[in-house]
Amino acid sequence: MLAQPRLSRASRSWSGIAAAAVVLALIAVVAGPAADVTVFRSGAGNVTLAPASASQVRETYEHGAGNVTVDLRDITFPVGTTATAVRLGAGELTIRVPDDVSVQVDASAGMGEVVVDEQERAGVAPSFSGELAGTSSSRVLSLDVSVGVGRIEVTR
């Protein structure tokens, strides 16, 4: 039997640092580049956002880490399509949508869980792409949602 080579303590330390760097790089790739229009900067902590009207819904929201809630239930959306994107590096992202709009959802996580209208996908790179019917087909909310590591929930 051949003897297994032993790694020095320094080699093991560098191996751990390299592994952590790879994980952080993967999170950065999955989270994607930040858009120009944001309502909050990348940071840490819990954020709740509830725009009062469709004109206040931003093109892109982004946050570094924490729990983010975007509550759109009290908005009367105009006829046509209103689009928004939400990006979270790590944590839990909840988006609440009104009953009277159809919602086109593209949601993905690098690792974690994606729950859309009680349909759950979990593991590495879970995603959901589909539509939630609303009481009005002439009003459409298009959501492009991603989390590097964590949980996404889109609910009415």
Task: Transcribe 61-104 into DSSP letters.
Answer: EEEEEEEEEEE-TT--PPSEEEEEEEEEEEEEEEEE--TTSEEE
Arithmetic mean of pLDDT over the chain: 83
* Tokens 């949980």 found at: 151
Copy the structure tokens of residue 29.
Answer: 């790739």
* Higher-pLDDT residue of 23, 143: 143
pLDDT band for 35, please (50, 70, 90 cuts).
very low
- Pairwise pLDDT comparison (137 vs 14), residue with the higher score: 137
Task: Give pLDDT, residue 24.
Answer: 45
**pTM of the entire predicted model:** 0.73
